[in-house]
Amino acid sequence: MSVRPIRLFGDPVLRTPAVPVVDFDRELRRLVQDLTDTMLDAPGSGLAAPQLGVSLRVFTYHVDDEVGHLVNPTLELSEQTQDGDEGCLSIPGLVFPCSRAQEVVACGFDQYGEPARIEGSDLLARCMQHETDHLDGVLFVDRLDAQTRRAAMGAIRSASWAGEPGPVVKQSPHPMFGKGM
């Protein structure tokens, strides 16, 4: 059991597009396990690697008693949309109505590098869109209509967890004269 801290709105890693997984190794399987443990502990319907500070294209989901994961996902979205409330473990306590595609076919790989395909509708479809957005540095508040988005940003600014100090970036004390790499 390895539950790791979930990064919060404002952390730059949540705005960084994640890179595709190349090595389907033990480290990847450890990441999938940590994502799963952290998601189930939260509890949440899904969790993407950037939320654990890891900029790789991997997410886990837990919808309708089914726990799974997908690596390097690509999505095919239905034209039909669904309306419903959505939230995010990186924006705790806040839920807003967010329009999404009603059905999704997600293709990618499992943690062993085997091709994987997940077909979903309703919450599972919503979850796969939300998590794949995380891998592109997109958060669900970006998908809200303008008025709801304003309300969401106001609520985020006044949330108890907002404005927590980000990671400290230390500057090298050595002058590099523009030659540092």
Q: Does 152 bind Ni ion (CB under 5 A)?
A: no
The residue from 70, 88, 101, 127 that contacts Ni ion (CB under 5 A) is 88
The one segment of 19-27, 84-92, 154-162, 166-174 that binds Ni ion by CB under 5 A: 84-92
Strand partners, 47: 60
Which of residues 92 and 113 has its CB atom nearest to Ni ion in the complex?
Answer: 92
Looking only at residues 89 through 108 of this chain, which bind Ni ion when binding is defined by CB under 5 A? none
41 burial class (0-12, 13-18, 19+ CB within 10 angstroms)?
middle
Neighbours of 142 (CB within 10 A): 12
Q: Residue 103 catalytic?
A: no
**Catalytic pick among 76, 103, 131, 164:** 131
CB of 111 to Ni ion, least distance (A): 20
CB of 31 to Ni ion, least distance (A): 17
Gap between the terminal Cα atoms of the chain:
38
Q: What does the angle CA 75 – CA 79 – CA 82 come to, to the nearest 5 degrees?
A: 90
The one segment of 13-21, 70-78, 86-94, 103-111 that binds Ni ion by CB under 5 A: 86-94
> Which residues have C-beta within 8 Å of that of residue 128, sequence separation ≥ 6?
46, 59, 61, 70, 73, 75, 104, 106, 118, 120
CB of 9 to Ni ion, least distance (A): 10
List contacts with Ni ion (CB under 5 A): 88
Residues identified as active-site: 131
